[in-house]
Structure 1
Amino acid sequence: MKKKSFIYQTWWIGLIPLLIGFIFMVVAVVMQLVPMTGVEINGVYTESVSAVRNFRLIFLAAFGGVGFILLLIGLYLIGYPYYQNNKNQRLIEQGTKITAKFVDFQATALNVNNSRLSRLTCTGKINGVDYIFKSQPLRRNPVPFLRDDLIDVYYDLGNMKRYFVDVDGSVKDVVEL
C-alpha cells in the first residue's frame, strides 16, 4: 500500500485554465480557416478583403490572446508544484538535516472544500540561534502520528530562507483505507 501524504497537492487546479485556454485557442484557429465572404462592421456589410482580414486578426488576437494567457496560467499552476517538489528533493539530498521540536498546529487562510488548510510550526536550534520553521499546507493533522513530537527539517546553510519541513518523513507509517 502507498503511504498517505499529509501535504496538500494543488497541481490539479491548473487543469481548469489549461483546458479552457486550449478550447479558446482551438476556436481562434478554426475561425481563421472558416471561409468568409464579408463582414458586418457598425451595421454596414462589406466584402472588402482587408476588412475580412482585419476581422480575422482581431478575432485571433481576442480569443487567441485570452486562450494563451489561460494556457500560461494553467501551465504555471501545474508546473510550480513540480518545481517545489524538485527543490524539496534537492534539499533532502544536499541540504543539512536537523530535528526540530513541534510547537504549533494552526489553520491558514486557505480554504478548500469548506475546511481550512493548516500548517505545522516547529523550532530548531542552529549554531545557538532558534529558528522557526513552517510546513507546506497540510490536509490533516499529523501531530498524533509524529514520533516523539520531532520533525525533520532540511535547510540550505547558505540561505536559511530555503528549508523544507519533512512532515511525511517524520510521521509513523500511515495508510488511508
Structure 2
Amino acid sequence: MKRKSFIYQTWWIGLIPLLVGCVFMSVAVVMQLVPMDGVDLNGVYTESTSAIHNFRLIFLAAFGGSGLMTFLIGLCLVAYPKYQKNKNQNLKAQGIKVSAEIIDFQATAINVNNRSLSKLTCTAKINGTDYIFKSQPLGLNPLPFLKNERVDVYYDLGNMKRYFVDIDGSARDVIEL
C-alpha cells in the first residue's frame, strides 16, 4: 500500500492548457498544409499568391502563437512541481536536518473543491537565531499524525531561504484506503 501524502499535488492542473495548446498548434500546422487555390477574404475572391501567403501567416501567428503560449503555460504548470520535488529531494539528501517546533496551522487563500488548503508554520533555533519555516500547501491536517508535535526541516546552510519542511517524513505511517 502507498503512504498518504499531506502535500497537495498541483502538477495535474497544467494538463488542460498543455492539451489545448497542442490542439491549437496542430490546427495551425494542418492549415499550413491544406492546399488553397483561391481564398475568399472579406467577401473578395482572390487568387494572388501573396494574399494566400499572408492569410496563412496570419492564421499561423494567431492559432500557432496562442497555442504555443498556452502550451508553454501548461508546461510550466507541470514542470514546476517536478522541479520542487527534485529540489526537496536534494535538500533531504544534502541539507542539514533540524527538528522544528510547530507554532501555527492556518488556512491559506487557496481553495480547491470548496476546501481551503492550509500551511504549517514551525520554528527552530539554529546557531542562536530563531528561524520560521512554512510548509507547502497541505490538503489534510497532519497534526494528529505527527510524532512528538515536531517536524523535520532540511535547509541549505549557504542559503537559509532554501528549506523543505518534511511533513510526510515526520508523520507516522498513514495509509489511505
Normalising by the residue count of structure 2, what TM-score does the alignment of the two structures yield?
Answer: 0.98
Once the two structures are superposed, the pairs formed by residues 63-142 of structure 1 within 5 Å of their partners are 63-142=63-142
Q: How far does the alpha carbon of each residue in 1:41-92 deviate from its partner, in whole angstroms, 9 at most, with x for none?
A: 3332111111011101110111000111111111111110110001001100
The residue type paired with residue 69 of structure 1 is M
Q: How far apart in 1 are the matches of 2:115 and 2:57?
A: 46
SS at match of 1:106: strand
The residue type paired with residue 30 of structure 2 is V
**Alpha-carbon deviation of 1:175?**
0.5
Task: Could you tell me which runs of 5 or more consecutive residues in structure 1 were left unpaired when the two chains were aligned.
Answer: none
Q: How far does the alpha carbon of each residue in 1:120-158 deviate from its partner, in whole angstroms, 9 at most, with x for none?
A: 011100011111100000000000001110100000001
**Alpha-carbon deviation of 1:16?**
0.2
The residue type paired with residue 112 of structure 2 is V
Pair 1:144 & 2:144 matched:
yes
SS at match of 1:154: strand
SS at match of 1:148: coil
Q: How far does the alpha carbon of each residue in 1:96-137 deviate from its partner, in whole angstroms, 9 at most, with x for none?
A: 000000111100011111110000011100011111100000
The residue type paired with residue 159 of structure 2 is N
SS at match of 1:3: coil
Once the two structures are superposed, the pairs formed by residues 11-50 of structure 1 within 5 Å of their partners are 11-50=11-50
SS at match of 1:137: coil
Q: How far apart in 1 are the matches of 2:50 and 2:40?
A: 13
SS at match of 1:79: helix
Task: Could you tell me which runs of 5 or more consecutive residues in structure 2 were left unpaired when the two chains were aligned.
Answer: none
% of aligned pairs identical? 73
**Alpha-carbon deviation of 1:94?**
0.6
Q: How far apart in 1 are the matches of 2:88 and 2:3?
A: 18
Q: What is the aligned residue count?
A: 177
